[in-house]
Amino acid sequence: MAMTKLRTNYLRYFLVLVNYSYGQVTDEEYASMPDLFYHDNFDKCMLLKEKAFYCSLTYQLKPLNETSPPDVWKIIQKVSNVSTNYRHDKLRHSICVPHSCPNVSKASDDDPKLWKGIQACYDSKFSARGLKGEVTQMSCDTQDSKYPIDWLDITYGVVLGVYVVIVLYATFREGVARYDSKEVYDKLMETPKGKLLSAFSITKNWIRLKTVNSNKETEKLRSIQVIRVSTKSSPVASHLCVRTIDIQCLFNTLVDTFGQTRYGKISNVR
């Protein structure tokens, strides 16, 4: 709830700087265009088990009658011709095929029948508005992964498992050694085995991490530490701010108008 309120406030402040010019169309005309982004619920689609079939596609819109195009097509062209706007004649949709296009059968991505079926389904949806189109890109998912487990996955799993075992063993062995006398512990840490345990022990490394060494050399490097922290924190803060207002798929009017502020035009990804 707090994040939703924060995002809403960011949006309100952001819109103050925006010049509402979608390409010289009204809000009502802008709203009459087909949804630029549309996404069915992926998880619910995968719950269909054997029938699960989820496709992400790009649908290039065209008028049914190019000599006498409908009003909505003129609006789409007017908005899309602004270089800082999205191309609203290229719809980016992700659909659960059994729900959105139930007449289309499950098939591989490169099956021409699948492309024709999805295109026919979308053509039927937009024909009443005087539009048709062509599927230019498509990628589909089922409950089965496209990428089977290969030797690289197995190798990575084995290496990760061995590493976790080493860390757990080193942490346990180094922790047990702490119950011995200080002389015995220090002697162990000076041996190659002890140094290896020290390198992988979670407890030992945590103590190193929270220990602050204060001497003349570290005092001289304080400015470097400030630079190091700044270079790490600034990108993190920037990404958090961008993520807070990253709602382009739900409210693409913000993106269309963002490039046309009082400070000049900003190019946009089309």
**pLDDT band at residue 258 under the 50/70/90 scheme:** low
214, part of any domain: yes
Tell if the pTM clears 0.75, that is, is over it: no
Does residue 19 register a pLDDT over 60?
no
**Which DSSP symbol is given to 105?**
P
**Which DSSP symbol is given to 35?**
P
Query: Residue 73 sits in which domain range?
Result: 17-145+255-265
Other C-beta atoms lying within 10 Å of the C-beta of residue 159: 10
Do 164 and 97 share a structural domain? no
**pLDDT band at residue 238 under the 50/70/90 scheme:** confident
Do 233 and 180 share a structural domain? yes
Return the residue matching tokens 């189109």.
Answer: 133
8, part of any domain: no
Do 133 and 207 share a structural domain? no
Does residue 21 register a pLDDT over 90?
no
11, part of any domain: no
Does residue 77 register a pLDDT over 70?
yes
Helix 202-210 with 192-200: angle, nearest 10 deg: 70
Do 107 and 36 share a structural domain? yes
Distance from C-alpha of 93 to C-alpha of 37, rounded to nearest angstrom: 6
Do 207 and 88 share a structural domain? no
Do 260 and 136 share a structural domain? yes
1, part of any domain: no
Other C-beta atoms lying within 10 Å of the C-beta of residue 76: 26
Tokens found for residue 24: 């010289």
10, part of any domain: no
Do 176 and 137 share a structural domain? no
Q: Which residues pair with 263 in a beta bridge?
A: none
Do 220 and 139 share a structural domain? no
Do 139 and 261 share a structural domain? yes
Q: How many domains does the chain have?
A: 2
The pLDDT tens digits of the residues spanning 121-171 come to 999 999 999 999 999 999 999 988 877 888 999 999 999 999 999 999 999
